[in-house]
Amino acid sequence: MFREETELGKSLEHQKQLGELGGLSLKKRRLRGTCRLFVWHLRNTGVRQIPCRFVHLYHVANNRLITFQYFNFLKRMYVTRCNKDLGQRAKPKSNSIVPPFHELQQLDQEKKVVHKISPVSPVHQSWSETSSRNELREMKSAAETEDSVIPVGAESKEDRRWKEMKLRLDDLPGILARLSKIKLTALVISTTSAGFAMAPVPFELTCFLLASLGTGLASCAANSINQFFEVPFDSNMNRTKNRPLVRGQISPLLAVCFAACCGIPGIALLALGVNPLTGALGAFNIFLYTCCYTPLKRMSIANTWVGAVVGAIPPVMGWTAATGSLDAGALLLGGILYSWQFPHFNALSWGLREDYSRGGYCMMSVTHPGLCRRVALRHCLALIGLSTVAPVLNITTWTFPIISLPINLYISYLGFRFYRDADRSSSRKLFFCSLWHLPMLLLVMFTCKKSVLEKEDKGDLPGGSNEMAMEIRLP
């Protein structure tokens, strides 16, 4: 999931498609309802629930809602963006380019008055820019009558689009948020916390927070380096052309320094504050994303598989943070995320073929369209298989494959439609389905998680039987 935002990008949204939003908020309400349903289900099954686990469920549920909110926001972006890119234009792209800071041009007007004066004539060059506005207005009117000045007209509009490359401290948080793809980072953190939550150990808040923070910092670092490598390519693709490095809002040196300042503490936090295995996985993931996936995008379609591994590692990291070991459960969770990446990304890339072709990106949707759709369908079906393996590995109860079957079947159905129809509408349907499918699947997985206490009863956990014996002895 590290690499999704690369493709999806952040966009300046000008239109709000209220109809879509309405549909989205409806889905959000439905999700909340589903969440409440699961909580009720737990309450009524009479399962021995520790109170804090209940709170935990709400926390995780809220996590899901937050995640879904992000998905909603992203979905809103995608809908608008996809709509803009929908029409395949036969004529060349129009030359009119939306000025990057058009919403700030009103502010620029005021400053414009100040600076218009200075280079007008040698007499005025000695004026400081902090002259009072009245005097400036007088000078401006005087200046405009001089012959040496070209009337403002169209040129100044063009000139207004030139920006000084000076970093302002109050812009810095926004710039760094965009550089680190903060929304994608939040999604990565939520998959890590899903991995942590699914681990069959008692929940430790400190460890959870450290793991989340460390993963978040690692993700920020990886995303910054990715943007650092891709400046000219991002400039040429619609979704990514407003990134900070493309716009010159930040220098490449600062981007690299920021990546180092996030990555080194992040990995150190994971390695020392959590455990070395998690730290190693984090470092490996950064390497995989920046040094393998990013260059591979322009060389071979294998980049999609590498990118899927990149997306699969965060939940594995969450699991290893909780348990300290890489066991079957971690690999299963990683496998689910890995399989999910394909319908998600392949469906998305179907609508971006023109940009990929012109930008020189080697993607299946351009070079091997049949393979693209086959792989998407294959992995939708794999999700069903992986959901069935979960209870076998004692991670969830058998209710999980049963409850998750409808959503898995639905995404497989959409995958099949995409495979058969190979058109934009089926690709969009599959893509949007993948956006809600994943959080829902993880939520269902969590609610069907095999209770730690159940395992103790069966004597699966070491020392569990001793504790049980102790309890019986006490009056």
Residue numbers 160-219 binding another protein by CB under 8 A: 160-166
Phi, psi of 301 (to 5 degrees): -70, -10
Judge contact between 116 and 135, C-beta under 8 A. no
Q: Which of 353, 374, 378, 455 binds another protein (CB under 8 A)?
A: 353
- Phi and psi, residue 243, nearest 5°: -75, 155
How far apart are CB 339 and another protein at their closest, in Å? 26
User: For another protein, which stretch binds (CB under 8 A), given 117-125, 259-267, 279-287, 328-336?
Assistant: 117-125
Q: Is 155 in the site for another protein (CB under 8 A)?
A: yes
**Using CB under 8 A as the criterion, what x/- string covers residues 16-55 for binding another protein?**
----------------------------------------
36-44, 52-60, 118-126, 274-282 -> range binding another protein (CB under 8 A): 118-126
Using rule CB under 8 A, residue 125 touches another protein: yes
CB 256 within 8 A of CB 25: no
Between 197 and 259, name the residue whose CB sits nearer to another protein: 259
Q: What's the CA gap between 188 and 235, in Å, rounded?
A: 25
Judged by CB under 8 A, the stretch of 46-54, 209-217, 230-238, 439-447 that binds another protein is: 230-238
**According to CB under 8 A, which one of 20, 108, 327, 460 is a site residue for another protein?**
108
Stretch that binds another protein, among 29-37, 40-48, 223-231, 320-328 (CB under 8 A): 223-231
For residue 280, give both structure tokens.
Answer: 């190693």
Taking Cα atoms as reference points, which of 250, 248, 115, 100 lies closest to residue 161? 100
151 in contact with another protein (CB under 8 A): yes
Site for another protein in 256-275 (CB under 8 A): 256
**What is the spatial distance between Cα 338 and Cα 307, in angstroms, rounded to a whole number?**
9
* Amino acid identity for residue 280 in this structure: A
Contact region for another protein (CB under 8 A) — 91-99, 182-190, 335-343, 433-441? 91-99
Closest-CA residue to 13 (of 246, 250, 239, 349): 239
- 59 or 368: whose CB is closer to another protein? 368
> CA 472, CA 475: separation in Å to the nearest integer?
7
Q: Element (H or E) spanning 331, and its range?
A: helix 328-350
Asked if 422 is part of the footprint of another protein (rule: CB under 8 A), the reply reads yes
CB of 429 to another protein, least distance (A): 15
Give the CA angle between residues 408, 414, 415 to the nearest 5°: 85
Q: Judged by CB under 8 A, which of 44, 45, 89, 145 binds another protein?
A: 89
| Pairwise CA distance, residues 362 & 470, whole Å | 63
Residue 446, judged by CB atoms within 10 A of its CB (0-12, 13-18, 19+), counts as buried
When asked if residue 99 is in the footprint of another protein (CB under 8 A), the reply is yes
- CB of residue 14 to another protein, shortest distance in Å: 17
DSSP string, 214-254: HHHHHHHHHHHHHHHHTHHHHHTSGGGTT-HHHHTSS-HHH
Among 32, 56, 76, 247, binds another protein (CB under 8 A): 247
Site for another protein (CB under 8 A): which residue of 135, 138, 204, 423?
A: 423
Q: Is 112 in the site for another protein (CB under 8 A)?
A: yes
Q: Binding residues for another protein, how many (CB under 8 A)?
A: 71
User: For residue 417, what is the enclosing H or E element?
Assistant: helix 399-421
Stretch touching another protein by CB under 8 A, among 40-48, 144-152, 399-407, 440-448: 144-152
How far, in Å, CA of 193 to CA of 156, rounded? 51
Nearest one of 429, 462, 416, 367 to 78, comparing CA atoms: 429
CB 158, min distance to another protein, A = 7
DSSP-H helix ranges across 87-122? 105-117
CB 361, min distance to another protein, A: 8
Residue list 363-402, contact with another protein (CB under 8 A): 366-367, 369
Determine if 87 is a binding residue for another protein (CB under 8 A): yes
CA distance 187 to 71: 9
* CA–CA dist 455, 164 (Å, integer): 63
Does 306 participate in binding another protein (rule CB under 8 A)? no
Exactly one of 33, 248, 385, 459 binds another protein (CB under 8 A); that residue is 248
List 55, 205, 299, 392, residue binding another protein (CB under 8 A): 299
> Angle formed by the axes of helices 328-350 and 303-323, to 10°?
150
Options 68, 78, 208, 356; binder of another protein; rule CB under 8 A: 356
Closer to another protein at the Cβ: 164 or 471?
Answer: 164
Among 118, 131, 388, 397, binds another protein (CB under 8 A): 118
Q: How far is CA 397 from CA 56, 58, 141, 400, 458, in A?
A: 19, 20, 80, 6, 14
Piece of 340-348, 386-394, 405-413, 422-430 that binds another protein (CB under 8 A): 422-430
Question: Contact between 111 and another protein (CB under 8 A)?
Answer: yes
Q: CB atoms < 10 A from the CB of 212, how many?
A: 21
User: Smallest gap, in angstroms, from Cβ of residue 140 to another protein?
Assistant: 10
